[in-house]
Amino acid sequence: MGNALFDLSGHRALVTGGTQGVGAVVSRAIAAAGADVLIHGLKKDAAADQTLEACRGEGVEAEIICQDLAKPPVDYIDSMMDQINSIMPGIDLLVNNAGTYIDPPFLDLDYQCFQKTMHLNVHAGFFLTQAFARDWIRKQTKGRVLFTGSINGLLAEADHTAYDTSKGAVAAMVRSLCVSLAPQGIRVNSLAPGLVRTPLTDVLNQNQALDSWMKLHTPNGAVPEADVCGGTAIYLLSDAASHVHGQTIYVDGGMSVWQQPDVPPNWI
């Protein structure tokens, strides 16, 4: 590798929700940095196969694991850990990326929808981190955990109550896990994208007015592909971030720091 600080050779990673969107970007970036990668997805489909082959193309070991994380973790966590250790033992990088974005308006939000959002966006990452941390501490492994947060954990979006709540919980969880695990040599941080182009945001490609509106609300005027997240993920997992604990890094073109956009001249 060109810079040893960002070289992940010798490491092995699990990326949940790693078959498409931000997860696929992170999976490919980890492989390009030299680490073996176990890619989790709900099912083995064309997107999973494409991500798997891209990772293997980097000359590392890459495998797929399928599991529905939208269920209560007690239903799967032990069997999933057994499967992980069978397919790719020795994982020391955990990327909790799996998530969903299925919010109806607040007044129509039912318990089942709220629970599914929390199970996938919050509970799965919490209990996977707990399971890995127990094993890492027992083996004296200096593990590294990366959550995928969101700008929605900081800034609310109308009628996205469950999603906003879940991503706010992720930001708080990262801080709390840092305090619990940093003394054990385990780093926990979060990558929080702003609006990037993924299958979940495909509406932007269908609605030019909405696309322009979102660019207006971003200081650098861009709504980029999810690839912009890859470099930050590698930084946070690498030795370059050895003293970075409990942080949420926003990859958002400046959206999170702008009170409101400038009004276009023709609006005044």
* Count of domains observed in the chain: 1
Return d(Cα 163, Cα 45) in angstroms, integer.
25
**What digits encode the pLDDT tens for the residues 98-156?**
999 887 899 999 999 999 999 999 999 999 999 999 999 999 999 999 999 999 999 99
Q: Is 165 a domain residue?
A: yes
Sole residue written with tokens 């057994």:
82
Identify the domain containing residue 215 by its residue range.
4-251
Which CATH number belongs to the domain containing residue 235 in this structure? 3.40.50.720
pLDDT at 67 over 80: yes
Q: Is 266 a domain residue?
A: no
Q: Is 45 a domain residue?
A: yes
Q: Is 12 a domain residue?
A: yes
Q: Is 242 a domain residue?
A: yes
Helices 161-181, 124-139: crossing angle, 10 deg rounding: 10
Q: Is 120 a domain residue?
A: yes
**What digits encode the pLDDT tens for the residues 204-255?**
778 888 888 888 888 998 888 899 999 999 999 999 999 999 999 999 999 9
Q: Is 37 a domain residue?
A: yes
Q: Taking the model in full, what pTM does it have?
A: 0.93
Sole residue written with tokens 């199970």:
119
Q: Is 110 a domain residue?
A: yes
The candidate with the shortest Cα–Cα distance to 154, out of 254, 263, 223, is 254
